[in-house]
Amino acid sequence: MGAQLKIKGEIAEDYLYEFVNAHSGLNIYELSKRLRWSTGKVYNIIKVLEEDGLVKTIKIEERGRIKRKVYPVDWKELLPEDVEKALKPDESQLQKVKIEAVVAY
């Protein structure tokens, strides 16, 4: 087996976050095995990432056992509210664009 990568602190959080983005839907045990980290370390970092709103976990039952699947939060959900509103035009703006398009045609 390969050498275990010793990563701590915020670097570990960043690394795990990127790993979850690349491997969405793995449970904590699977993440820990792939990274060769302890399940406790993975669980604690996932908890921090979830509190920060970067990932979400979904509890499911498989073969009588509860497992937590980990998914990254969609990038649109991470945007500040004002930016999110700017990306979603309101209905009056859409009507104006439609009317201008018909007139221009």
What would the pLDDT profile of 5-14 be if each residue is shown by its tens digit?
A: 577 788 999 9
Give the torsion sign (CA, 41, 45, 48, 50): negative
Question: Distances in Å between the alpha carbon of 102 and those of 22, 91, 92, 93?
Answer: 44, 17, 15, 14
**So what's the pLDDT on residue 7?**
75
User: Which of 3.40.1000.10, 3.40.1390.10, 1.10.10.10, 3.40.50.720 would CATH assign to domain 9-74?
Assistant: 1.10.10.10
**Per-residue confidence at 30, pLDDT binned at 50, 70, 90?**
very high
Domains in the chain: boundaries: 9-74
**So what's the pLDDT on residue 43?**
96
